[in-house]
Amino acid sequence: MKKPLKIFLVLLMCIFSFGFLFGQYREYHLFGLVVDSQQQPLAGVELFLQDVNTSRNYRVKTDKNGKYVLSGLPHGRYRVTVKKDGYETRTFDWDFSAPQERMQKVEMETIVLASEQQVKLATRAKEAQQAVNESMEKIKKGDLEGALKILSELARDYPDDSNVRYLLGLTYGRLQRYQEAVAELTRVTELVPEFAPAYLQLGYCYQSLNDQDKALEYYKKAAELDPSNPANLYNLGLILFEKNQIDEAQGYFERALAIKADDADTLEMIGRCYVNKGDLPRALEFLEKARGLTTDEEKIKILDKFIATLKEQIKK
């Protein structure tokens, strides 16, 4: 009696073992798609799956339509490597650790592979951006020669990058190398015609070169593209004031003041415009406002003297 029972128990264990193995290896049915960066299907892409807790691994390749199917995958956590010659290699972690009683169909997220050339270009672009950021930090800290070295190298590698050209022009301008600055900034206006800061910097350069007509031309273009920059409007007014075009100059000063009402320099220039127009009481009003906002000791002395003179003239 004992012998048949022993045989029955062995047979029962075999049946359960077979059932367990069958369930273990028939749990997940995965399918998905691999494409390039242009969303075109990629054939012959290899997907290598390795269970992180065991030595089990699985391989599958995409067909001519970029599709892959992996049926009967046991539950587990997988490290997945996706590769194809000429393209980047990508890795993923797939978690299918939950045991399943029935086969589960799972549509995987589309995998995108960039070409090696695209990866190289992206890496270069990232490195270039880091160099641009470094040059900007050097400009802020006053290390203009350091910034110039970085930007000159970038300009050789990226001759049509408007950001590099603009920063290079800005650096030349601060180094008072105005002709070189003009060449770089003019190139920026060719690459990006609507970029107002380039015209503003050209105005600064030409003003420093004592070419007031050119400076005026570029300041006006900057004001047209960006009418909310008070520094540009102030510079326009200053040149026009020096040209004795008082009404037009005052118009720009007043526009600047509407944007930045507490600017002492602008208030002073509006006062001087009224002096030129013979309206001394109105001039005095603006000059006293400027005096109240000025912190520069030398400027205070000049304004005090000017205000005292005007008051005497008004009495007479």
3-state secondary structure of 243: coil
Give tens-digit pLDDT for 289-315.
Answer: 999 999 999 999 999 999 999 998 988
Helical segments of 141-261, H only = 144-157, 162-174, 178-191, 196-208, 212-225, 230-242, 246-259
- The dihedral through the CA atoms of 72, 74, 76, 78 has a sign that is negative
Task: Return the pLDDT at 288.
Answer: 95
How high is the mean pLDDT of the chain? 89
- Taken in order of first residue, the domains within the chain and their CATH numbers are 23-114 (2.60.130.10), 115-224 (1.25.40.10), 227-316 (1.25.40.10)
pLDDT over 70 (residue 3): no
Average pLDDT over residues 175-182: 96
Closest CA to 42 of 116, 113, 106, 107: 113
256-262: long-range contacts, CB 8 A cutoff, minimum separation 24: 256/230, 256/231, 257/230, 259/228, 259/229, 259/230, 259/233, 260/230, 262/293
Give tens-digit pLDDT for 242-295.
Answer: 999 999 999 999 999 999 999 999 999 999 999 999 999 999 999 999 999 999
Give tens-digit pLDDT for 114-161.
Answer: 888 877 767 777 877 888 899 999 999 999 999 999 999 989 988 999
Give tens-digit pLDDT for 29-48.
Answer: 999 999 998 899 999 999 99
Cβ atoms of 206 and 236 closer than 8 Å: no
Residue type at 138 in one-letter notation: K
Closest CA to 182 of 204, 161, 160, 210: 204
pLDDT over 60 (residue 1): no
Cβ atoms of 286 and 267 closer than 8 Å: yes
